[in-house]
Amino acid sequence: MNAYDNALRQLEKAAKLIDLDKDVVARLSTPERTVMASLPIKMDDGSLKIFEAYRVQYNSARGPYKGGIRFHPQVDLDEVKALSFWMAIKTAVANIPMGGGKGGILVDPKAMSEAEIQRLSRAWIKAFKDVIGPEKDIPAPDVYTTPQIMCWMADEYSNLVGKKQWGVVTGKPLDFGGSKGRDTATAMGGFYVLQEAINELDLKASKLKVAIQGFGNAGSVAAKLLYDAGYKVVALADSRVIIFDKKGFDVDKVIEHKEKIKTLAGFKGSKEIDIKEFFALDVDVLVPAALENQITKSNASDIKAKIILELANGPTTPEADEILFENNVMVIPDVLANAGGVTVSYFEWIQNNENNYWSDKEVDDELKERMIPAWQSVLKNSKEYKIDLRTAAFVTALKRLAEAIKVQH
């Protein structure tokens, strides 16, 4: 399944619905700029390795490009193009004045030392320094990139341009120009939207059962937020194992266990289940917070959840979307559900530019102020056009992008 083909199908579907201007569709059907580089890195053993690297700048009609950089062994150009397109949609859905971009390096960072990763991070900046910058394109962390990597990147960029430029990337450590609330932003934004969806469906949070796939930053924070809000978290998955307990987990203890042994495996009182069982669980809320293309036409009809909250990017294929819509499953799409991350990244960029830093409460209040209206706009379009929330999110974004494009051309 080609992620970029999926993205273009989503664009086409929403564009047809609102009879979007053909020139706007043409502009949004291809990135504004694609940059590729080969990064030669001296490894610790003295050998030289070459790594393929990318930056796709999809659309800047609403502001500078914004989007993460992933270090992953499966990175390819089509995936980066799809992710950059989704970022342009996501920033428009969240109604922040930024565009969409994405970057990546084809690498297995787990097989590298910290020193090698630092050299690789700095090499990426050297290769792309002319096309990024606080007013042009602001990268951020993504799969297997960290605040520390952002710190090295901001430092390298600052050295190259000869002045401190913390605002060139977001997702930095707190004492290096980072924003409070950034580490929990993706899950927190999703949580606010989920609460709205539950009210819309007239459900009671305290009685709802949840399954979460992915126990990285977004998944583990979501598990904690939902557990604290009274949801019963019955299934959790990391990259190695899926654990289940019909009575519900004490999420604080699960987090402790994971920190100690680096896996969910062997958590006391839990039963290991396979991926097929996981998607067929009798739960109310399913939270995919791992990688793309997890919910497909082969497992979509097994899903019993009433709500799917997509904290991962692109976890549901277009075929699965159709099945879920027919089955009355409310899918809160990634471009809305996980937009909290880019929203707080935008707040970090503002704080860097103004050299004025906000409290946890200020960040959280501002995040809520963005996420709830975003949900309301998407829900309104969903009802008006009688469409699923993903298509409604695209409709919301495309209307905003079309306005910006028309004003400029």
126 is catalytic: no
* Contact between residue 170 and residue 186 where contact means Cβ atoms under 8 Å apart: no
Alpha-carbon span 61 to 401, nearest angstrom: 7
**66, 81, 102, 224: the active-site residue:** 102
Alpha-carbon span 221 to 210, nearest angstrom: 14
Alpha-carbon span 297 to 315, nearest angstrom: 12
* Contact between residue 135 and residue 64 where contact means Cβ atoms under 8 Å apart: yes
Question: Do the bridges between strand 33-42 and strand 48-59 make them parallel or antiparallel, or are there none, so unpaired?
Answer: antiparallel
Which letter does DSSP use for residue 323 in this model? H
- Distance (Å) of CA 388 to CA 219, 284, 392, 399, 404: 24, 18, 6, 17, 25
Alpha-carbon span 2 to 75, nearest angstrom: 12
* Contact between residue 96 and residue 121 where contact means Cβ atoms under 8 Å apart: no
Question: Do the bridges between strand 100-106 and strand 209-213 make them parallel or antiparallel, or are there none, so unpaired?
Answer: unpaired
**Catalytic (active-site) positions:** 102
